């Protein structure tokens, strides 16, 4: 392969990217954008009868089909929702957190998370040390 013929390979690489199944979103990029799977020319020829049958449906059936398609798109968007991914990642992160056991008369430092939001060079994020007097549940 020559470095100069990258332009001829670009369309094939783009098509391969659109066809690839993404595990994070649970679908292909093509399906998320257009709401349906892509069809190769061979598949289109085989589905000509199906397409003709779809075109000849009544308007009421077409309306119901459109509503169903919109519902399917909404379901796809829910599947690809980042909040579900964030929830899974939070579970993985929380599973790695070790439980700290504190005892009476132990000295600890307190982390002020608000200082992280409004950080300054000279502001300390930790205060203390504090002496533990009582341990709660």
Quick: pLDDT tens for 92-121.
988 888 888 888 999 999 887 776 666 666
| DSSP alpha helix (H) spans, 80-133 | 82-96, 113-117
**What is the arithmetic mean of pLDDT over 83-87?**
78
The pLDDT of residue 22 = 78
10 with 54, same domain: the answer is yes
**What is the arithmetic mean of pLDDT over 82-88?**
77
66 with 126, same domain: the answer is no
40 assigned to some structural domain: yes
How many whole angstroms from its chain centre is CA 94? 19
Domain that residue 69 falls in: 3-94
136 assigned to some structural domain: no
How many whole angstroms from its chain centre is CA 98? 27
Question: Global pTM?
Answer: 0.29
66 assigned to some structural domain: yes
137 assigned to some structural domain: no
- The total number of structural domains in the chain stands at 2
83 with 112, same domain: the answer is no
Token pair belonging to 70: 């919109």
88 with 117, same domain: the answer is no
């Amino acid at each position: 392969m020559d470095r100069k013929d990258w332009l001829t390979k670009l369309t094939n690489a783009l098509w391969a990217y659109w066809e690839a199944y993404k595990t994070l979103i649970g679908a292909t990029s093509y399906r998320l954008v257009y709401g349906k799977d892509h069809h190769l020319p061979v598949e289109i020829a085989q589905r000509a009868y199906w397409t003709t049958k779809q075109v000849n449906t009544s308007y009421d059936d077409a309306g119901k089909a459109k509503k169903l398609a919109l519902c399917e798109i909404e379901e796809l968007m829910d599947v690809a929702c980042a909040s579900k991914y964030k929830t899974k990642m939070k579970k993985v992160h929380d599973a790695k957190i070790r439980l700290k056991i504190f005892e009476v008369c132990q000295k600890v430092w307190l982390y002020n998370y608000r200082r992280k939001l409004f950080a300054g060079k000279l502001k300390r994020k930790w205060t203390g040390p504090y002496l533990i007097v009582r341990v709660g549940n």
